[in-house]
Structure 1
Amino acid sequence: MTTERVAVAPTRKRAYGHTALSLAVLVAAVCLARRHWPVLESGALRLAVADQGWLLFGAAATGATWLCAALAQQGAVPRRLPPGRLVAAQFAASAANHVLPAGLGAGLVNLRFLMRCGLPAGRAVTAVAVRSTAGGIVRVVLIAVLATACPGVLRIPDGWAAGVAVLGAAGCALVLLGGRRWPRCRQALASVAADIRAVHARPHRAAALWGGSLAFALLHALVLIAVAQAVALPLAPGLVALLYLGASSAAALLPTPGGLGSLDAALGLALAAAGAPAAAAASAVLGYRLLTVWIPLVPGLLVLGILVRREAL
């Protein structure tokens, strides 16, 4: 009993810390929105008269993201998963991701779904981690490719590159030392490595993992591009995609539900800094969030409730 209480206490402290930080970011976002309310109001009016064809195209791209998320999650698991429930779980996970901080919602929904499909808890955790890692790697590669095609857009301050390299080296050293000193770390790393080898031993699973992760990131960028075209944002599509990937990666560092507040501010500032008018940038961000968050939120939560009621989660 004592050991369980000691283990639960740090978890509660971390949860309280994440919640406090999320609330602080949300309060800051509300204050920022209140300060720039005329720009937001102008952006909303511009979105109301936007090109409906491009908005419908963006809505279709949003729907395809859940199929790609299901494909990527299937690729992270050697065994076959029920396709219908897998897609429904991804739709529910996207809604849960906008309720809990730091992307915990999607991870918990997928974890529970995989365990209901018969995977042991350890394997389910590894499968979710493998998919998340593949998604992160894909984003880094896309940013590097687009940054090369659009030089000078993503400006890194002097000295930051060396600092990032030092932090990365320190993190790798900690992982290696931890794996040598703590048996549980060694077991966890060995389990992850074994599952990665098992997935890549089957080419169709590896193709699903990496192809789904790549398509997922590109489709989200395509949603923003479609909204930008609908509101006549004077930026090239490739530049909009690069700005989205950079802003969403930066916003992921703050544990707000679904990047609420952090992504909106980062994306709006990135578009404005690239030369878009403030009202057009606000309109593009509002349209993107409307298609990817607010319209699917209630249906996604309903699907989540149905899956829980049917014991699929």
Structure 2
Amino acid sequence: MSPTSPRPGKELSISHDSTPEPQAAAPGQPDAAPDQAPKVVRSPRSHALRVLVWFVLIGGLTYVVIPEISEIPRMGKALRDAQPAWAILAVLFAATGFFAAAASLAACSPMHLPFLRTTRVQLANAFAGTATPASVGSLALNVRYLSKSGMSTALATGTVALQSIVQVLTHLVLLSILALVAGRSIDHHMPGWARWALLAAVVAVVVTVVTVLVVPRFRHAVRTYARDDVLPAFRQLGGLAKDPRRLGLSILGAMGTTLSSAATLWACLLALGGGNDPIAAAFSTMVGQTLASAAPTPGGVGVVEAALTGGLVSFGIASAIALPAVLLYRLISCWIPVLIGWITLRLLQREDVV
């Protein structure tokens, strides 16, 4: 063997180093799997957008809470004067609304949604919807939840729009039935502001329709919205009508969200000795929900309280009882769920559900 010839061990070492063994051995190495697992990295832009959304929600909620601080003494008095049994029943009635909303969304969805998780999302909507006007935040949160569940954005938007359509139609049917059952009583007790509010709503609808027809930009925006969102929702409504089980569940869920509010206010009246008048509670909450959906304030704050109090007073309930009952109702159906909804939303975001 010549001095310049490589040693057998050295030659083996060179041959060993020249082979791409990390690539060949990587699939068989147990410690290589973590390096190959996909890592979810949030982009700075996504993080900044989430922080911005939180600032908007917190800002809206702060705008809502500040005017209500002056009512805290009255809320405390309402709680001290309330009968515990009826107050607990009011809490249970308010809680059923979240389960009903989850059932309605699950029925309108073309794919299976876990019921408990969907209920948690509806509870988170108590915060998102109150912090934004006309419950825009709750609609956006539902779309986000459906998108995270595997739906396309278009299908998720159509599903949420379908749920809104079923909710509105059911609300109108319940209001019509209430008017037929107790029409004379409602007409006799209907306050003057309600008639003026109805007239103002009709005028607003007429002005909006004329504006949309006259201004090309608005006309194009409405046409695009109708093509991309409304028409798919009505197509899904046709599919929903062909499935009696889903249709019935969606209607029952929509009825539950409306009736739970009426039952909660009714229980609050009983808790404060306001008498047993479910018609007054149902009519007041239905009008209050209608005005809240059109109110420019987050959560309809101010508008809802005035509508509920005025409605109860018009039915002969003393203002000394009507106002505390409304404050107790808002505490149970709005402010406590807002706090729980904020915590729930944070947990859902950590779980990457929304």
Q: C-alpha separation between the residues in 2 aligned to 1:172 and 1:77?
A: 34
In structure 2, the partner of 1:259 is: 300
Structure 2: give runs of 5+ residues left out of the alignment: 1-55
Count of matched residue positions in the alignment of Structure 1 and Structure 2: 286
Q: Do 1:44 and 1:286's aligned partners in 2 also have CA atoms closer than 8 Å?
A: no
Specify which of 312, 322, 328 is matched with residue 281 of structure 1: 322
Specify which of 245, 268, 286 is matched with residue 286 of structure 2: 245
Mark the CA change 1:260 to 1:234 in structure 2 (over 3 Å): closer, same or farther.
same
Mark the CA change 1:80 to 1:287 in structure 2 (over 3 Å): closer, same or farther.
same
Residue 258 of structure 1 aligns to a residue whose secondary structure is: coil
In structure 2, the partner of 1:108 is: 140
- How far residue 182 of structure 1 moved from its aligned partner, in angstroms, is 4.8
- How far residue 88 of structure 1 moved from its aligned partner, in angstroms, is 0.9
In structure 2, the partner of 1:3 is: none
In structure 2, the partner of 1:83 is: 115
Structure 1: give runs of 5+ residues left out of the alignment: 1-15
Q: C-alpha separation between the residues in 2 aligned to 1:184 and 1:46?
A: 45
Q: Do 1:135 and 1:213's aligned partners in 2 also have CA atoms closer than 8 Å?
A: yes
Q: Which has the larger radius of gyration?
A: 2
Look up the equivalent residue of 1:129 and give its one-letter code. Answer: A
- How far residue 235 of structure 1 moved from its aligned partner, in angstroms, is 5.7
- Tell me whether 1:96 sits opposite 2:128 in the alignment: yes
- Tell me whether 1:154 sits opposite 2:190 in the alignment: yes
Q: Do 1:43 and 1:282's aligned partners in 2 also have CA atoms closer than 8 Å?
A: no
Q: C-alpha separation between the residues in 2 aligned to 1:73 and 1:172?
A: 33
Deviations 1:95-142 (A, max 9, x none): 221222220121111110000111111111111111112212222222
CA RMSD of aligned residues (A): 3.3
Deviations 1:255-308 (A, max 9, x none): 222222221122112222322222211111111111112222222111111111
- How far residue 157 of structure 1 moved from its aligned partner, in angstroms, is 4.1
Specify which of 94, 102, 106 is matched with residue 74 of structure 1: 106
Mark the CA change 1:228 to 1:190 in structure 2 (over 3 Å): closer, same or farther.
same
Mark the CA change 1:208 to 1:168 in structure 2 (over 3 Å): closer, same or farther.
farther
- Tell me whether 1:211 sits opposite 2:247 in the alignment: no
Specify which of 171, 196, 221 is matched with residue 139 of structure 1: 171
Higher relative contact order (CA 8 A, sep 6+): 1
- How far residue 185 of structure 1 moved from its aligned partner, in angstroms, is 3.8
Over the matched positions of the two proteins, sequence identity in percent amounts to 24
Q: TM-score, normalised to structure 1's length?
A: 0.79
Mark the CA change 1:258 to 1:187 in structure 2 (over 3 Å): closer, same or farther.
closer
- How far residue 44 of structure 1 moved from its aligned partner, in angstroms, is 4.3
